[in-house]
Amino acid sequence: MKSGEKAVLALIGTVLVVGVVRSQLQVKGKHDRDIPFYSTATPDVARKAMDIYHSNGCKSCHTLWTLRDMLQSVPSPMLDGIGSLRTETWLYTYLSSPDPQSILPSRLKKEYRMPSYASLPDNDRKLLAQYLASLKVKDWYLDQTKQAEYEKLTGKVYPK
């Protein structure tokens, strides 16, 4: 075999191998896209925070881990992945504010708006903020989430 032919064969071989590897990676990538949400919290924090979450009726307005009340019709933001959008400090301040709408304006009727949880025990607000901040969303989904949240909250199209 001439060295020119060898080079051509080697090239074809390389192209084939790269092609196979790439298609494998794509399959893996697609699979990886199934569930974009995860939490970095310890089971202990998660359990305590979810207890507070349930006993304060957050579930009657918000969706978290795809769970929501059957009768829920309030257009509240979904809380999955919220920790990729907000910091723990922001969440703690928001939950502690006597007027959450001064932080995040609302276009909803008063009865649908985020209530103030300023009267919750400080430790409960801290735990909730800690847990909510641990709820992350994978990068590829973040842009879509941000956009949907923005449009839901403002009623405007997300500026590109």
Using CB under 6 A as the criterion, which residues of the chain lie in contact with ligand HEC when the complex forms? Answer: 53, 56-58, 60-62, 74, 76-77, 79, 82, 85-86, 91, 94, 100-101, 104, 106, 108, 112-115, 117, 128, 132, 149
Q: How far apart are CA 141 and CA 46, in angstroms?
A: 23
Q: Any alpha helices (H) in the chain, and if so which ranges? A: 3-32, 43-55, 88-96, 122-133, 139-154
The residue among 38 and 120 lying less far from ligand HEC, judged by its C-beta, is: 120
Considering the complex, what minimum distance in angstroms separates the CB of residue 66 from ligand HEC? 16
Name the DSSP class of 100: G
Question: Residue 81 to residues 36, 43, 140: CA-CA distances in angstroms?
Answer: 8, 17, 12
Q: Evaluate whether 59 touches 53 at the Cβ level (below 8 Å).
A: yes
Considering the complex, what minimum distance in angstroms separates the CB of residue 42 from ligand HEC? 18
Considering the complex, what minimum distance in angstroms separates the CB of residue 18 from ligand HEC? 42
The residue among 56 and 138 lying less far from ligand HEC, judged by its C-beta, is: 56
